[in-house]
Structure 1
């Protein structure tokens, strides 16, 4: 075994960072055996050095993250600060100093992963980021390495534990959105500011990263169509139940049928309860990967939290350190296909549309005409009326999202339609 220790700098010591430091300390001997060399925590960058941090020697703490990231004796920098800046600057300084990087920063990778990959390649260093997507679930490495010889056509999954918990509570207990969000916050599943989760930003960043890996092309978060769950209502949940479905926030990345483009989207959708994703409860994540040769693969497990995310970080640390000991490098960016990202309007989906309408003769014919005029085929229609008011529930066949959206807008303009009570895609 190599005797000189590999030195690691830890940038950030919050929920994830403190867990990383704890595991590095308590499992020091095991990590050394797995790597073939001892690993030493050489410094920890924090914003508040006076805060108690059990198990971390005070002399390791520093508020100068730039100095720590650029230290010439550091072999690996672990970045768990999050956000775009100063994380991007710190990671680039680490590469300039010749260090490899392990990061959990999905927002930065989704916004500017190309710059990070280019800097790593120039430095001859590794960039690993298993913890950026789906917490402890091994997903990035299987896609980058195990499926490197296969053709991935689709990635479909639940990639945010907070929103899955909220939707699960709305479905199982009848709670409203705000009530379920409050429970998620009380249990620690939701941040004090839950915007990134409930508005779909978190899942969109993960979708961008997975689409880039799956289709060997660059996809940024801005190119991912995004809808959150704040508009999901009790009527949506009830409508899904009547169809034998459940509502989930899905991230869907697909290669087009002709292979000339890709799409990436995040939005609530109804899926059958019999579908494996339909049974994913609480704050768990699950991701389907569909490939030519491998077929359908499902990855399932806890998608967030300090310990699960730290597990993924430590797995990357072991891999990077092994590469350093053996004189090798891990996989870099693969973006050779340069496929364009098609807009959401070109995606073909099904729709569930619930309309509040006047209870009189001819209304159903008017509604059906609107669907026909926009080239949208109707699969099923259910109508109920009482005291001059009625509801129509229409489920469509597959059509382009643009055609379906135009249909709904035309329906809103009908004088016989009092309102669109519920509107959701069906997968």
Structure 2
């Protein structure tokens, strides 16, 4: 039986998952592919380092050329992460006629155009299911299963760290710093958590999803990003009282004015499917003109979940090698405008610290009305001496109008601070 030889770049958390799946399920995989899929070389930094998985030392190398330059390797699995020297290794492998499977969201989000071009020129696959949503199948469904649809909207929880933190804050009433410390102790958050809590991790994933969904190149720089650093226990409590849950969402929409791509905290109605997605789980909600609404749910990270997505791509690439063909690479055949954040329409939650005296609310309402911002809900519940906390929910409004009105509100002598502004989505 023909053998498809696989070389792996990296043997970290995801790499170990891929190794366990491809070796532990080898008989089943052979039957599904019609050939033996065999890992023949693995690039590691330190050959002498003890490893938590039993591996034949003869498979290990610290020389990348043993994989990316070897004529015997058919498929390269990149699970190193990072950009340098990873990008150079992957481009070299593609140019040498090897199919590449990657879980590297940073590389795909920033250099997708170059990677797809190299794969196309060599007539090989570049597959990246593991780059978004861990074990959740979403790249292939968008490219294949939903390809006949015009995708109208993608809205998802695509970062497990922030979802765990917001879930804890909601359930326990904890504050942000306390929950962040707990997430770091449990290994859900890095020592430097900025990529997660600042929204950049989710933004990279959203750039990939939006590019596929709307057939146009969306880069990280096109995505508007806000993190969860300003979310307080008060915001969580107000959300619950008003019938919402706070989630960090990645949102991409196609409108008549162009593509929206944004990551930020949102008030999500209790009845929305994403509101019940808790802890480290991810979920991606898709709306298409034919399929209607669909949601993909599962573990968004981890050794075996992400390893499952990578191994599935390896099987696809192996089947294509046997047929002498390649699958779907770049689908960005259109050039669509990307909207700036001030062009979007949304509802908004606004929390203000103001003077507790007559006429203050009227002056605030007048400032909003001057910029055509209509208020749907007004709450005043907490007073401290001469200060009061006011919470507002607007009707649907253009972001530019909302920001202009906030400038007027901030100038009022009766307003001490605008404590937080959060968009309301999913209604």
TM superposition score normalised by structure 1: 0.96
Q: Please report how far the alpha carbon of residue 383 of structure 1 lies from its aligned counterpart in structure 2 after TM superposition.
A: 2.8
Q: Please report how far the alpha carbon of residue 410 of structure 1 lies from its aligned counterpart in structure 2 after TM superposition.
A: 2.2
Q: Which residue of 1 aligns with 2:416?
A: 418
Q: Which residue of 2 aligns with 1:253?
A: 252
Pairing partner for 1:393 from 384, 391, 394: 391
Which deviates more from structure 2 when the two are superposed, residues 281-290 or residues 403-412?
403-412
**Alpha-carbon distance between aligned partners in 2 of 1:350 and 1:39, rounded to the nearest angstrom:** 52
Q: Which residue of 1 aligns with 2:60?
A: 61
Pairing partner for 1:268 from 259, 265, 268: 265
Q: Which residue of 2 aligns with 1:151?
A: 150
CA offsets per residue over residues 2-50 of structure 1, 9 Å max, x none? Answer: x231110100100010121122222222111111001111111111211
**Alpha-carbon distance between aligned partners in 1 of 2:354 and 2:341, rounded to the nearest angstrom:** 29
SS in 1 for 2:135: coil
CA offsets per residue over residues 141-166 of structure 1, 9 Å max, x none? Answer: 00000111110010001001111000
CA offsets per residue over residues 155-181 of structure 1, 9 Å max, x none? Answer: 001001111000000000111112212
**Alpha-carbon distance between aligned partners in 1 of 2:64 and 2:192, rounded to the nearest angstrom:** 25
Q: Which residue of 2 aligns with 1:344?
A: 341
Q: Which residue of 1 aligns with 2:403?
A: 405
Whether the 8 Å contact between 1:22 and 1:55 is mirrored in structure 2 is no
SS in 2 for 1:190: coil
Within a 5 Å distance, the mapping from 1:150-189 to structure 2 comes to: 150-189=149-188
Q: Which residue of 2 aligns with 1:39?
A: 37
**Alpha-carbon distance between aligned partners in 2 of 1:231 and 1:32, rounded to the nearest angstrom:** 51
Aligned length: 423
CA offsets per residue over residues 217-265 of structure 1, 9 Å max, x none? Answer: 0000111000111111111111111111111000000001x2x510100
Whether the 8 Å contact between 1:21 and 1:56 is mirrored in structure 2 is no
Whether the 8 Å contact between 1:66 and 1:93 is mirrored in structure 2 is no
SS in 1 for 2:167: helix
**Alpha-carbon distance between aligned partners in 2 of 1:68 and 1:341, rounded to the nearest angstrom:** 39
Q: Which residue of 2 aligns with 1:367?
A: 364
Within a 5 Å distance, the mapping from 1:153-302 to structure 2 comes to: 153-256=152-255, 258=256, 261-302=258-299
**Alpha-carbon distance between aligned partners in 1 of 2:92 and 2:65, rounded to the nearest angstrom:** 7
Whether the 8 Å contact between 1:72 and 1:98 is mirrored in structure 2 is no
Mark the runs of 5 or more structure 1 residues left unpaired by the alignment. none
Q: Which residue of 2 aligns with 1:354?
A: 351
**Alpha-carbon distance between aligned partners in 2 of 1:92 and 1:422, rounded to the nearest angstrom:** 44
SS in 2 for 1:353: strand
Q: Please report how far the alpha carbon of residue 191 of structure 1 lies from its aligned counterpart in structure 2 after TM superposition.
A: 2.3
**Alpha-carbon distance between aligned partners in 2 of 1:34 and 1:194, rounded to the nearest angstrom:** 40
**Alpha-carbon distance between aligned partners in 2 of 1:70 and 1:104, rounded to the nearest angstrom:** 21
**Alpha-carbon distance between aligned partners in 2 of 1:33 and 1:131, rounded to the nearest angstrom:** 23
1:74 aligns with 2:73: yes
Whether the 8 Å contact between 2:123 and 2:325 is mirrored in structure 1 is no
CA offsets per residue over residues 257-315 of structure 1, 9 Å max, x none? Answer: x2x51010000011111211111111000111100000000000111111100000011
Distance 1:32 1:367, change over 3 A: same
Distance 1:64 1:392, change over 3 A: same
**Alpha-carbon distance between aligned partners in 2 of 1:341 and 1:382, rounded to the nearest angstrom:** 36
SS in 1 for 2:307: helix
**Alpha-carbon distance between aligned partners in 1 of 2:117 and 2:369, rounded to the nearest angstrom:** 50
Q: Which residue of 1 aligns with 2:300?
A: 303
Please tell me the root mean square deviation across aligned C-alpha atoms, in Å: 1.3
SS in 2 for 1:371: helix
Q: Please report how far the alpha carbon of residue 121 of structure 1 lies from its aligned counterpart in structure 2 after TM superposition.
A: 0.2
**Alpha-carbon distance between aligned partners in 2 of 1:301 and 1:384, rounded to the nearest angstrom:** 38
Whether the 8 Å contact between 1:359 and 1:385 is mirrored in structure 2 is no
**Alpha-carbon distance between aligned partners in 1 of 2:180 and 2:68, rounded to the nearest angstrom:** 37
Q: Which residue of 2 aligns with 1:126?
A: 125
Whether the 8 Å contact between 1:13 and 1:45 is mirrored in structure 2 is yes
Q: Please report how far the alpha carbon of residue 384 of structure 1 lies from its aligned counterpart in structure 2 after TM superposition.
A: 4.2
Q: Please report how far the alpha carbon of residue 385 of structure 1 lies from its aligned counterpart in structure 2 after TM superposition.
A: 6.7
Whether the 8 Å contact between 1:102 and 1:316 is mirrored in structure 2 is yes
SS in 1 for 2:163: helix
Which deviates more from structure 2 when the two are superposed, residues 220-229 or residues 377-386?
377-386
Q: Please report how far the alpha carbon of residue 135 of structure 1 lies from its aligned counterpart in structure 2 after TM superposition.
A: 0.5
**Alpha-carbon distance between aligned partners in 2 of 1:228 and 1:385, rounded to the nearest angstrom:** 26
Q: Which residue of 1 aligns with 2:48?
A: 50
Q: Please report how far the alpha carbon of residue 67 of structure 1 lies from its aligned counterpart in structure 2 after TM superposition.
A: 4.0
TM superposition score normalised by structure 2: 0.96
Whether the 8 Å contact between 1:262 and 1:340 is mirrored in structure 2 is yes
**Alpha-carbon distance between aligned partners in 1 of 2:268 and 2:31, rounded to the nearest angstrom:** 46
Whether the 8 Å contact between 1:236 and 1:423 is mirrored in structure 2 is no
Whether the 8 Å contact between 2:350 and 2:421 is mirrored in structure 1 is yes
